[in-house]
Amino acid sequence: MEPAWRQQGKGRGRSQESQGERSRPPQKEREGPGASVRSKFDEIRKSNQAAAQRLVESRVSSSSSDEEDDEDEEVKVDHKDGKRGKILASTFTTYTDQTGGDATGLVRTGQYVSDLFQSGALTCLICIGSVKRTQAVWSCSSCFSLFHLPCIQKWARDSAFLVSSVTDEDFGQKQHPWPCPKCRAEYPPSATPNRYMCYCGKQQDPPADPWLAPHSCGSVCQKQLKPTCGHTCLLLCHPGPCPPCPKMVSVSCLCGRAKPLPRRCSNKCRPCPRVSIQRCVCGREQAERSCSSPQWNCQQVCGSLLSCGNHTCEVLCHDGVCPPCPRSVSRSCPCSKTKSSLPCTEEVLPCGDTCDRRLSCGKHTCSMRCHRGSCETCRHEVEKECRCGKYRKFMPCHKEYLCDSKCPKTRSCQRHQCRRKCCPGNCPPCDQSCGRTLGCRNHKCPSGCHQGSCYPCPEAVEVTCSCGTTVLSVPCGRERSTRPPRCKETCRHPPSCHHPSRETHRCHPGPCPPCRLPCLLPLPRCSHTCPPPCHDQVLVKSQQVAGPWEQPSEPAFVQKALPCPPCQVPIPTSCFGEHEVSAVPCHRRGRFSCQRPCGRPLTCGNHDCSRECHLVTDGNKCKVCEEGCSKPRPPGCPHPCSRPCHPGNCPTCSQMIRQRCHCKISLLYVECTKLTSADEQTKVELSSCNNQCPKELSCGHRCKQVCHPGVCEEKCQQKVKLRCPCKRIKKEELEAFEKRQQRGGRRSKKRGRREEEVDEEARRAGRWWRRCAGFVLVPLGGALLSAAAYYLLTAA
């Protein structure tokens, strides 16, 4: 057996029946139990789909950018503000009709009315709970704040109880005022609210009407306007202060000379704001006071002679006639039993009867005779009971009997004992301060020590936007969880980068977005500016290195100022050798190497630099030419130039040419430059050893000329001795010659050995030498030294 919902719709006419059923209007009589189940199922399915759609839309909208959210919210807020403004404008028509459409005086009242229509805008500062339209409330007449009626009643009772008894004597006897939780305006105990009234105070327990302002009766306010002008408020029952009086009245000037002019009642002549020196009422003192309050009293006694002519006036500074003498009226004796009419100069004497005035104890009378002044203290001995009722004792009536027992009861705070001497049982509140931190976490409880939780903090804190223009007042403690109000002003935060001002954007909480303006800082070492976006505050990942046993921490981002990137402006620049001009980035500005040969002429002037293109400085010059000198030598010089390749003419050849003298006996060393540059006569002289020519003439004698080229001249000038036939002269000459040889033979041998040693040293040193007249001449520095001098020099 199939269920009923499956059996429906079977058969041939299922489609036609279904079409017919769709075309008919729904009728409850034809719907069975299955139809009701389907309809409920469809409703639940549609509601779930709608909820899912709203969830998706909220997620999508939350992931959108903040600027779009702000714009949407602004549109919504403006739309709501427009509707709310129209409603408020229609509410205040009774006032604007009197002012010709001017609503400047309704700003403060309109704010209170506007807050009533905003959900959660009104908060009870006692319980820190929202004030709903169906709850009984009380409005302060000074600050116009709304409080829950039970909250303000408990506040008034507790405040009066905490300050009612400072000492033991006046506990429970004085009526102390209680303050408003917000503005601290004091109210007498009789003003403690006990009924829920509308704002204007005409209707008790006003009903919650959706077409009226919450807690309003809907009738005309009719409160007396302040400052008092005789007119009443024209608005409907409303929260907040009444607006200024809109009535038109005729007002004259202060002196009354000018004609009255029509003016707004709230804009009548204001009191003079200036100050002037004015005398008091009695005219004795003068002081600088406001011109609008010329009447003032000093604190001196009048002292004027009274009408009796005997006494002076004892009233403080006053105007007009002094009062009559107080002694001129009917007077009585000190005990007030006998009355008499005497001149003011005479004193009324005591009557002599018993005083019988009530003493300060209130139980006994004075037993003295009629007397002036106060009665003495009561000295009757009575049995008195102490205040706590434990002990009794006889003592003078005027004294209070207090025992020394201390009260062991716990005070109302349930934390401290009473410990008061002779306590009658009405233990006073704990005189210690509570001092516990309130829920706001900002203030401490100022009340006396009490039982239970402390009252919420009565202070109100202003939550402002970043620029401080838009202010939102919230209860103390909620400023931490309350978002700053949205502000339509421009953000006023000073720039955190080098720019003089930020990009224009709206006021916002938290740090400003990073600057997107071009950096434009002058780059170092060039005249260009930095073109990328500002990089003074850039988030840089900073990750600390963890130890071997530590968990690696997540990377943190730190704001740092990054340096400007290198300048990329192309600059036409030539290479070191000026072979080409290329565009080089500004940060690499400077000449470069084009990889070609340098090509600069070397210092020799004969070749070019073969190095790669380079910069020529004092420390980086072109390479020195390492080739030899290839210039032609002077004619006759067989030596190459001793210098490397060089500019200009080659230096004179300083090498020595070794050649035989004319006589072919001595080797001569002659400078090449002297030999090649000399003429024929000088060449002959340079080739001569300056010794006597060793050649023999045809006559058998030696040539007397100095070493010379060519054939000796046959001009022998030597003298010849002719020998006699006896040969005596020749023998004598031979004997003289032998004697001379014997005397100088040893010296000549030594000289010969030394000459050989000098010749050997000269050969080892590679120097040239020659003999001249029995001496060996050695060239040294261009000078000819004797063999002995040369020997000493070489030995040293």
Determine the length of the chain. 796
List residues bridging with 410 in a β-sheet. Answer: 417
Is this structure's pTM higher than 0.85?
no
The pLDDT of 749-755, averaged and rounded, is 54
Give residue 174's pLDDT: 63
More confident call, 161 vs 314: 314
The long-range contacts involving 548-552, CB below 8 angstroms and separated by at least 24 positions, are none
Rounded Cα distance, 245 and 224, in Å: 10
Is the previous residue joined to 246 through a cis bond, with omega within 30 degrees of 0?
no
Give residue 138's pLDDT: 93
Band of residue 13 on the pLDDT scale cut at 50, 70, 90: very low
Task: Please choose, from the candidates 622, 607, 619, the residue with its C-alpha nearest in 3D space to the C-alpha of residue 577.
Answer: 622
3 token code pair: 């269920």
Residue 23, phi-psi category: left (phi > 0), alpha (psi -120 to 50), beta (remainder): alpha
Rounded Cα distance, 248 and 264, in Å: 5
Q: Are 351 and 333 contacting, i.e. CB atoms less than 8 angstroms apart?
A: yes
Band of residue 198 on the pLDDT scale cut at 50, 70, 90: very high
Which SS3 state, helix, strand or coil, does residue 151 take?
A: helix
Give residue 721's pLDDT: 66
Band of residue 196 on the pLDDT scale cut at 50, 70, 90: very high
Give residue 139's pLDDT: 92
C-alpha triplet 608, 614, 619: angle, nearest 5°: 95
Q: Which of 169-178, 488-497, 643-652, 772-781 has the lowest mean pLDDT?
A: 772-781
Band of residue 15 on the pLDDT scale cut at 50, 70, 90: very low
pLDDT of 29 higher than 50: no
Average pLDDT over the chain, rounded to an integer? 76
The pLDDT of 464-478, averaged and rounded, is 88
**Could you report the per-residue pLDDT of 561-590, keeping only the tens digit for each?**
888 889 888 989 888 888 888 888 888 878
Give residue 234's pLDDT: 85
- The CA radius of gyration of the chain, in Å to the nearest whole number, is 68
Between the alpha carbon of residue 656 and those of residues 331, 670, 671, 782, the distances in Å are: 167, 5, 4, 12
**Could you report the per-residue pLDDT of 696-740, keeping only the tens digit for each?**
888 878 888 888 888 888 787 777 766 666 655 555 566 676 777
Is residue 776 classed exposed, middle or buried when 0-12, 13-18 and 19+ CB atoms within 10 A define those classes? buried
714 token code pair: 């046959």
Task: Please choose, from the candidates 559, 560, 587, the residue with its C-alpha nearest in 3D space to the C-alpha of residue 573.
Answer: 587
Band of residue 771 on the pLDDT scale cut at 50, 70, 90: very low
